[in-house]
Amino acid sequence: MSKHSGDVRIENPTMPAGGWGSVQEVTTILLHQRVPLKDSRLLLRQNKPDGFMCVSCAWAKPANPHPFEFCESGAKATAWETTSKAIGADFFERHTVTELESWDDHSLEDQGRLTVPLRYDAQSDRYREIAWDTAFAEIGASLRSFDPKEVVFYSSGRASLETSYMYALLARMYGNNNLPDSSNMCHESTSVGLQKTLGVPVGTVVLDDFEQTDCIFFFGQNVGVNSPRMLHQLQEARRRGVPIITFNPLRERGLVSFTNPQSPTEMLTGAETPISTQYHQVKPGGDTAAIMGLCKAIFDFDDAARAAGAQRVLDTAFLQEHTHGFAEFEASVRACSWEDIERESGLRRGALESAAQVYRSSSAVMAVYGMGLTQHRNGVQNVAMVVNLLLLRGNVGKPGAGVCPVRGHSNVQGQRTVGITEKPELAPLDKLKEQYGFEPPREQGMNTVDACEAILARKVKAFIGLGGNFVRAVPERGLMEAAWREIPLTVQVSTKLNRNHLVHGKASYILPCLGRIEIDRQQGVEQAVTIEDSTACMHGSRGMAEPVAETLLSEPAIVAGIAKATLDPNPRVDWDRWVGDYASIRDAIEATYPDIFHDFNARMWQPGGFRKPLGAAHRVWKTASGKAEFTVPETLAGNPDLRSGAATLRLFTVRSDGQFNTTIYSHDDRFRGVYGSRMVIFMARADMAKYALAQGDIVSLRCAAEDGVERRVAGLAVVPYDVPQGCIAGYFPELNPLIPLWHHAKESKVPAAKAIDVILERGGRPS
């Protein structure tokens, strides 16, 4: 068994996204994960009304699905969860935690599903099986002894609406709003930016808009890997001649072209659909500047149209009726020089003008974006800039137009909707008080960065993780891992063994749960759950595979187990009834959020899902001014606080098709042609020449921040790649030790994983 990634092999990736490569990848993972044949047929039920909702990304689920409504990434996620590989108490008898720490992330999860509850035994340095009741009783007794303000309840975007609602209630009844979520590392810049500008925390487009749009702008999202089902919508749009204008420092295969693996003709003929009609390799962090350039060109076009007495380019009626702050924004754009725009975006004026030309000639424009915009010091500003661009021509709240942030985890958006938030103002606290007769805490809770700061300050007594691999996903790994080991109590509700179980608190428990694809029987009845997709549509999901072990509990049962052992009994909260019948949890959700979830149990099976009401989608603006807000950018600088110089390179971290976040399916990246190792950096040939480096040379990176903390990753092989000069890319989570904790988006605190100024050194042994 390989416990370490081997030597790197580099090939020129010529295949389109999708295609035969995709089919082969799916077959390989089904075999390697020993997915029983009957379970591999499950793929046919994936993302279908009355089927189960994929556990990979949150992309929308159509009302009229394709016969195969799954993608390569989704099939991998299904195989990873429904694997017949499993580990029980005997595995942990054979391996000490210290030994397991030397295994790599792939090998840990590849052992298969966790099957029994475990408690760390310091004397033998092993996890040992423990009875469920004992685990709950011990965890409950500890939690009762702590100050609730010093306990953190983290969630990692996958748990259902039902579980998430119960979990948020548990935290609040216990006495805090310390509910950080993976979205704090992800689309929190969206939640803050869109709320402020459009009065909604989420995107405004639905699937139908893809059929009506006549232009798509695509910023910093790698569709071919991270939300491949969207390629269907993009391919269809391209067939109608819709231009797709992409801004991304890397030339990503999936954004270049696509062969639909589910189309026999395309597969036989090898036909590829080119996806992007323009590809702008913006500098990481340069999107604010690039969008200022687009807006500047649009003002120029508008000036010319006005001078010629032609039809205006700006939608003046919309601006007048629906927006606020336009004059200030216009002034800032006019004052901004092309020289600054070109320097900060890394793009030429002519290129930006040609993109703006497409924008001005389109009548319904959609802007799609991902982590390339949100994970920056200026992440919130980047989102607001996208809104500025759309507002100029009234591209919000009409068919075919709008903003489309592509969410990550399959229910990350839904968790926020049902109360997982550290911001008390976003939870219906009065309603909860009335419904359950307790006094909800009103103070601000901790988000992810706050929780990390508190852990570093040794101020966290207990960390409960509902899924995820927190210590691996956060920045500042060096300091975080050391501090983590001093947390008095850590509890992880998990499906697979991961790094966070090995880097553990003084007392540590692993509570293994059923996955969403598994049949969840309570009192003999098969239960269903619900999730919210990226377009704010709610869907029912039924488990369809036999559970990998009888000893697993469902997530609602685990949350209830902890709650009952921790909280004083409350006659109005019947945890057992909820666990016995999930429809009763949905009734409770409906009572708390009647506007969103009325008739929840009936509507959850509606094909295509039912949508959360969103004012902005109908031009109702729930903002401070009652209108859509323009935002004047504070700065064009891509990385205002980590000052770059001639000696630094700007690193951005990305995902491969061989991973789902910290879950590493394989060490290969088919799309970028890198095989056998993830310890690589992607570098422009011109920079390789400058540093006198050849392909495969080994280098180390050191963070350029001068704050007295040494942040270094060694043992990285150089891969020549089409990235702008002065920039390099590498993989998350391997490069997370390079990110200072304070290097996060200003208003949303999303770690700025897409712009880290680093110093490159030749050689260096792997640390």
Ligand X SMILES: Nc1nc2c(c(=O)[nH]1)N[C@H]1C(S)=C(S)[C@@H](COP(=O)(O)OP(=O)(O)OC[C@H]3O[C@@H](n4cnc5c(=O)[nH]c(N)nc54)[C@H](O)[C@@H]3O)O[C@H]1N2
Query: DSSP characters for 115-164?
Result: -S-EEEETTTTEEEE--HHHHHHHHHHHHHHS-GGGEEEEE-S-S-HHHH
Rg (CA), the chain: 25
Alpha-carbon distances, residue 585 vs 165, 486, 494, 538, 582 (angstroms)? 8, 36, 22, 15, 5
Q: What is the DSSP letter of 245?
A: E
Can you tell me the distance from the alpha carbon of 67 to that of 76, in angstroms, rounded to the nearest whole number? 18
The alpha-helical segments, DSSP class H, found in 492-554 are: 499-502
Residue 723's nearest CA partner among 649, 638, 639, 645 is 649
- Total residues contacting Mo ion by CB under 5 A comes to 2
CB 21 within 8 A of CB 71: no
Asked if 285 touches ligand X (CB under 6 A), the answer is yes
Given Mo ion, ligand X, none, residue 666, with its beta carbon under 5 to 8 Å by kind, binds none
User: 204 Cβ partners below 8 Å, 6+ apart?
Assistant: 198, 396, 397, 402, 403, 404, 614, 616, 617
Whichever of 126 and 377 has its CB closer to ligand X, that residue is 377
Asked if 253 touches ligand X (CB under 6 A), the answer is no
Asked if 345 touches ligand X (CB under 6 A), the answer is no
Whichever of 213 and 663 has its CB closer to ligand X, that residue is 663
- The bridge status of strand 278-280 relative to strand 9-10 is unpaired
Choices 123-131, 306-314, 510-518, 605-613; region in contact with ligand X by CB under 6 A:
510-518
Asked if 406 touches Mo ion (CB under 5 A), the answer is no
Asked if 440 touches Mo ion (CB under 5 A), the answer is no
Asked if 186 touches Mo ion (CB under 5 A), the answer is yes
Asked if 717 touches Mo ion (CB under 5 A), the answer is no
Asked if 195 touches ligand X (CB under 6 A), the answer is no
**Residue 299 burial class via C-beta count within 10 angstroms: exposed 0-12, middle 13-18, buried 19 and up:** middle
First to last CA, the chain: 22
The least CB distance from residue 668 to Mo ion, in Å, is 22
Choices 141-149, 182-190, 380-388, 515-523; region in contact with Mo ion by CB under 5 A:
182-190
Interior angle at CA 548, CA 544 and CA 549, nearest 5: 125
Binding track, positions 587-616, relative to ligand X; x by CB under 6 A? ------------------------------
The least CB distance from residue 755 to Mo ion, in Å, is 17
In the list 284, 379, 440, 505, the residue contacting ligand X (rule: CB under 6 A) is: 284
Asked if 447 touches ligand X (CB under 6 A), the answer is no
Can you tell me the distance from the alpha carbon of 648 to that of 656, in angstroms, rounded to the nearest whole number? 25
Determine the 3-state secondary structure of 62 from DSSP. Answer: coil
Choices 28-36, 172-180, 331-339, 658-666; region in contact with ligand X by CB under 6 A:
658-666
In the list 178, 195, 323, 736, the residue contacting ligand X (rule: CB under 6 A) is: 736
The least CB distance from residue 226 to Mo ion, in Å, is 9
CB 143 within 8 A of CB 462: yes
The least CB distance from residue 186 to Mo ion, in Å, is 3
The least CB distance from residue 247 to ligand X, in Å, is 4
Choices 257-265, 328-336, 508-516, 567-575; region in contact with ligand X by CB under 6 A:
508-516
Q: Which two tokens stand for residue 220?
A: 């910093």
For the segment 348-387, give every residue that binds ligand X (CB under 6 A): 370-372, 375
Choices 38-46, 142-150, 178-186, 607-615; region in contact with Mo ion by CB under 5 A:
178-186
Whichever of 245 and 567 has its CB closer to ligand X, that residue is 245
**Tokens 């951005």 — which residue?**
652
For the segment 108-167, give every residue that binds ligand X (CB under 6 A): 109, 156-159
Whichever of 56 and 362 has its CB closer to ligand X, that residue is 56
In the list 329, 359, 652, 721, the residue contacting ligand X (rule: CB under 6 A) is: 652
Asked if 490 touches ligand X (CB under 6 A), the answer is no
Asked if 287 touches ligand X (CB under 6 A), the answer is yes
Determine the 3-state secondary structure of 687 from DSSP. Answer: helix
Choices 225-233, 330-338, 414-422, 594-602; region in contact with ligand X by CB under 6 A:
225-233
For the segment 408-437, give every residue that binds Mo ion (CB under 5 A): 408
For the segment 680-709, give every residue that binds ligand X (CB under 6 A): none
**Tokens 């983290």 — which residue?**
154
Given Mo ion, ligand X, none, residue 533, with its beta carbon under 5 to 8 Å by kind, binds none
The least CB distance from residue 587 to ligand X, in Å, is 24
Backbone φ and ψ for 63, nearest 5 degrees, come out as -70, -35
Asked if 182 touches ligand X (CB under 6 A), the answer is yes
Asked if 55 touches Mo ion (CB under 5 A), the answer is no
CB 680 within 8 A of CB 673: no
Asked if 394 touches Mo ion (CB under 5 A), the answer is no
Asked if 733 touches Mo ion (CB under 5 A), the answer is no
CB 736 within 8 A of CB 474: yes
In this structure, the dihedral spanned by the alpha carbons of residues 12, 17, 18 and 23, taken in order and rounded to 10 degrees, is 30
Where are any strands of DSSP class E within 445-542?
462-466, 489-494, 507-512, 520-522, 525-532, 537-542
Overall residue count recorded for the chain in this entry? 767
- The bridge status of strand 244-247 relative to strand 215-219 is parallel
Per CB under 6 A, residues contacting ligand X are 56-57, 73, 109, 156-159, 182, 185-186, 219-222, 225-227, 247-250, 252, 282, 284-285, 287, 370-372, 375, 408-409, 466-470, 473, 493-496, 498, 513, 515-516, 555, 652-655, 657, 659-663, 732-733, 736, 739, 753-754
Per CB under 5 A, residues contacting Mo ion are 186, 408
